[in-house]
Structure 1
Amino acid sequence: MRISVPTIPFLSSRPPLPQSSLQEAVDRVAKFLFPGNIAVLTGAGVSVDSGIRAYRGSQGRYLNPNYQPLFYHQLMDESEAGHMFRQRYWLRSYLGWPAIRASLPNTTHYALAALQHAHVVPRIITQNVDGLHHRAINLIPGVQNDRILELHGSLHYVHCKHGHSVDRSTFQDWLSAANPQWQAFADEVERTGDKPRTNPDGDVAIEHLGTSYRTFVVPQCPSCLLDDRINSVHKPQVIFFGESIPPAVKNRSFQDVEAADRLLIIGTTLATYSAFRLLKHAVELKKPVLLLNLGPSRGDDIEGIERIDMASGLIIRDVARLVLGTRASTDPIIAKMLQSGVVKPPEDDTDTEQALAK
């Protein structure tokens, strides 16, 4: 399975959804969850309250009009052109990583973790690569993190083309040591607060820096050097556009949907086929599906699914409290989770959306 760049915005033939009140939305989602054994599929909208921008706004358009994803073959190309692609990517990632590293789980992450702890939601499949679902569920002692499937991988690890793996913070230190001038630039950005726009995949927009990325040094892999190999081709452990999802991950995603009685989809436009096909699979199996997302999605024209047009952060904590009843206050782990979570969305992108709509 390969990730391809989707066409946007989404144009739905279905009529707009009637506006629901917050309490109506809470009641509808809670009713959907009450039977238990729910699989949850999440997207970038879930991490917005953690300060990480979604790719698209409420109209289905990219919030960054200059967004140009890097393709897998470009990153791994060993020609001079590929070297420049890697310079550009790793500079963007170098400047964006501190914001991802500092991000904290929000109320939606913790509410879903509470529902996992209560076995209402045994399985979470996420398209997000920020690791925030794992950070939220780590409040549960001895939890098995394999209950969270990262469909598109994780930003928290990097590997070279020969398979040597290192954690992202260590790789950040390598980048700093190889690029003292860019470390100074990053320190100045941090000091002034004039931070570039961070994307959900952990990099930043650097169009204003022109071709200065060509001074960025991508370090050699130390493990390869020990084997007398010169190799500076590194890749984060995420799935790039044009790259195949590992068969084990693809199969597991289908199995998680099959093992559940219902599928709740939160905060995603389902633009990538790897996610959209899970919705289609659930519908083919005649499993109830509820889509909670702000704005249009690729699933809007799928018959037989229930849709709510709303941001998850507005209601999911109250949904969890309603579903869990007295356990929301008597179970100390659940109570702690339902009192945890940041609400720090990025600056308002309304002006950007209005400009794009013109």
Structure 2
Amino acid sequence: MTQNYGTVPSTLGLRSSLHTPSFSPLLPANVSAVGNNNVLPMTAPAIRIPFTGPLPPPIIVPPSARTVSGAIDALLSFLTAPPSPYLRGVDVGRNAQTVLLTGAGISVASGLSDYRGENGTYVTNKTYRPIYFHEFAKRHESRKRYWARSFVGWPGLVKAKPNLTHWAIKDIGTKGYLSSVVTQNVDSFHSFAHPELSTLELHGYLRSVVCLTCRDQVPRDEFQKSLERLNPTWAEFLARMVETGALDTDHPEEQRRKGLKLNPDGDVDLAEAPYSTFRYPSCPRCLEKPPRLKDGTLARVEVENDGAWLPTSTAGILKPAVTMFGENIDPDVKTAAEEAIDDAGRLLVLGSSLATYSAWRLVERAHKRGMPIGIINIGGVRNEPVLFGTQLEKPDAELGLRCSLNTELILPEVVRQLSALAHM
């Protein structure tokens, strides 16, 4: 089995720089101007990052779900309930199973950051913004900085593993209660923990990089080796940081003690190797056989003697295989996500505030179909009154569930009780 990785650990000191949780708007880089590294300032983006401020307090349904035991009972009722009498649509009655929609919140226990949680990037770093697709695609300087930060963050990604929530999802799926999983996360924990349970990665994955021209993919660990070869000073620095454990903490004093110096915006302070000198490889396929461009001309892929991509090229740019902020979700993925909703009888959201429209539109679709919706997420969620307002007077866990607790406190016990039910 191939292990897949993604999402930057919250224990990594470069959280604002290297963070890539769910979407998530998705980029493990915050691109801002740093004079010492000769990185040009970005123009103000026209795209607005949604819901970076606090959301309204959660609506708890049923009221007993304020406690762990109450939430466990409510989730058991939700998962084992018969099809809702209010279900509408072409697939009414076809499937009583639950489809999961997961977000960055469920991977926090694996050491990964989320965006809007208590210690999320938008909370701890008010100036953070992800790199946008048009910036990455058009600017050599943006790509150099992105890949330098990603290079430093990759060892932490490789160390991160699925947690109790992912394994509980596997067990609940094995027992037949789940139809599929749609995840906003790019960490690939779902496909590693439960390969037998269908998982759709809504925003892509970090385990590979993809060529913007030919769409060929290269494994991220193979790409990392190329970055090491092309940037020996950075590679030596990274080896030192891994050895000292400087990347295993987010405490600035401990980081400095272990040799990791950060600029105020979170950039690595490495005097002997500024970001402007960082190099990255070209797409090997385009280099070997330059493709035709849309205008019919033959692409030009030029590299240095050791294989570093040159900006005189017209093709061969590799990007992470994720949906960047400002980039459209693949139409086939969008359709598959809608079908996953339509093929289920109820929807359970885990660890997502639904701030991104790509996630909210799926919940909205489920709501319009009359599907019971359950949400387990710490803190507020987008448009909760729309989803749960009618249940305040007469709460029924079979028709809706909302609690603001850690999924690791709830799902493993639900698995245990489902096992007990199976043996009754």
Counterpart among 150, 168, 171 of residue 220 in structure 2? 168
TM-score between the two structures when normalised by the length of structure 2: 0.68
Task: Please state how far the C-alpha of 1:287 moved relative to its aligned partner.
Answer: 0.5
Deviations 1:24-66 (A, max 9, x none): 1111111111135000000001111111111122498533334
Q: Does the C-alpha gap of structure 1 residues 16 and 290 become closer, same or farther in structure 2, counting only changes over 3 Å?
A: closer
Give the Cα separation in 2 of the matches to 1:314 and 1:107: 9
Task: Please state how far the C-alpha of 1:15 moved relative to its aligned partner.
Answer: 6.2
Q: Check whether the contact 2:136–2:143 (CA below 8 A) recurs between aligned residues.
A: yes
- In the alignment, structure 1 residue 258 sits paired with structure 2 residue 342: yes
> Secondary structure of the residue that 1:207 maps to in structure 2?
coil
> Secondary structure of the residue that 2:221 maps to in structure 1?
helix
Q: Does the C-alpha gap of structure 1 residues 255 and 16 become closer, same or farther in structure 2, counting only changes over 3 Å?
A: closer
- In the alignment, structure 1 residue 212 sits paired with structure 2 residue 307: no
Q: Check whether the contact 2:231–2:279 (CA below 8 A) recurs between aligned residues.
A: yes
> Secondary structure of the residue that 2:412 maps to in structure 1?
helix
For structure 2, the 5+ residue unaligned runs are 1-23, 26-46, 82-95, 251-261, 291-299, 302-314, 389-399
Task: Please state how far the C-alpha of 1:160 moved relative to its aligned partner.
Answer: 1.6
- In the alignment, structure 1 residue 132 sits paired with structure 2 residue 189: yes
Task: Please state how far the C-alpha of 1:296 moved relative to its aligned partner.
Answer: 1.1
Matches within 5 A, 1:178-217: 178-195=230-247, 206-209=266-269, 212-217=274-279
Deviations 1:98-119 (A, max 9, x none): 1112211100001001111222
Q: Check whether the contact 1:152–1:238 (CA below 8 A) recurs between aligned residues.
A: yes
Deviations 1:55-102 (A, max 9, x none): 12249853333422011111111xxxx101101111111111111122
Give the Cα separation in 1 of the matches to 2:217 and 2:119: 39
Greater percentage in helix: 1
State the partner residue of 2:108: 48
State the partner residue of 1:149: 200
Counterpart among 43, 48, 68 of residue 129 in structure 2? 68
For 2:279, the aligned partner's letter is V
Q: Check whether the contact 2:55–2:379 (CA below 8 A) recurs between aligned residues.
A: no
State the partner residue of 2:397: none
Counterpart among 189, 210, 219 of residue 159 in structure 1? 210
Q: Does the C-alpha gap of structure 1 residues 187 and 327 become closer, same or farther in structure 2, counting only changes over 3 Å?
A: farther
Give the Cα separation in 1 of the matches to 2:128 and 2:329: 22
Q: Does the C-alpha gap of structure 1 residues 172 and 21 become closer, same or farther in structure 2, counting only changes over 3 Å?
A: same
For 2:151, the aligned partner's letter is Y
Counterpart among 53, 68, 79 of residue 9 in structure 1? 53
Task: Please state how far the C-alpha of 1:326 moved relative to its aligned partner.
Answer: 5.9
Give the Cα separation in 1 of the matches to 2:368 and 2:230: 52
Any runs of at least 4 consecutive aligned residues in structure 1 with deviations exceeding 4 A, and if so which?
Answer: 13-19
CA RMSD of aligned residues (A): 2.7
Matches within 5 A, 1:85-100: 85-100=142-157
Deviations 1:218-257 (A, max 9, x none): 1122222212541452111100010000111111111111
For 2:209, the aligned partner's letter is V
Identity of aligned residues (%): 34
Q: Does the C-alpha gap of structure 1 residues 307 and 73 become closer, same or farther in structure 2, counting only changes over 3 Å?
A: same
TM-score between the two structures when normalised by the length of structure 1: 0.80
For structure 1, the 5+ residue unaligned runs are 199-203, 331-358
State the partner residue of 1:273: 357
Between 29-38 and 280-289, report the one with greater CA deviation.
29-38
Aligned length: 313
